[in-house]
Amino acid sequence: MTATDRSTELINAAAQAAADKLAHDIVAYDVSDVLAITDAFLLASAPNDRQVKAIVDEVEERLLKELGAKPVRREGERDGRWVLLDFVDIVVHVQHSEERVFYGLERLWKDCPQLDLPDDAKASHGRAREHAEREGDATYEAAERGGSEGAR
């Protein structure tokens, strides 16, 4: 089974919305073969809590305005470190960059096929690392050396 056309449409709109708010490392996975509860996951990150919230707000607003989709659940908003938007057909994870490295959702879903995304979303790959290098943040280097144990 593969992600439905509706799921792909939602993923692309969410990815573009995240890219428009300068999200880092946007990626989507077709999880329809391994999960019965949703078709696809979108992962995106940002270097601070305020930007995480801005990305989440834009994704939610864009999907409602353009596709009439409202999340059935929104979790983690208060902390602004990892917000989950559940649209049933897709689940959007927007994480603070540190949480993204620490939890490594990409490692969990690496066997699932990646979905093709809009060019702006593809261009976001590597932004987290670039930001960390500019800011002198060792999070990514530590994660590469020792996995999630070194990230905190």
Please give the C-alpha separations between residue 59 and each of 114, 130, 152, in angstroms, as whole numbers: 19, 23, 29
Q: What are phi and psi of 83, to 5 degrees?
A: -110, 135
- To the nearest whole number, what is the mean pLDDT of the chain? 88
pLDDT at residue 147, as a whole number? 46
pLDDT at residue 133, as a whole number? 73
> In degrees, to the nearest 5, what angle opens at C-alpha 7 toward C-alphas 30 and 76?
80
Entry pTM? 0.85
pLDDT at residue 146, as a whole number? 44
Residue 42 CA from chain centroid, whole number: 5
Q: Positive or negative CA dihedral for 29, 26, 49, 139?
A: positive
pLDDT at residue 127, as a whole number? 74
Quick check: 130 pLDDT over 80? no
Q: What is the pLDDT of residues 16-62, one digit of tens each?
A: 999 999 999 999 999 999 999 999 999 999 999 999 999 999 999 99
pLDDT band at 145 (very low <50, low <70, confident <90, very high): very low
Q: Positive or negative CA dihedral for 133, 136, 142, 148?
A: negative
pLDDT at residue 138, as a whole number? 56
Q: What is the pLDDT of residues 59-85, one digit of tens each?
A: 999 999 999 999 999 999 777 899 999
Q: What DSSP state is assigned to residue 114?
A: B
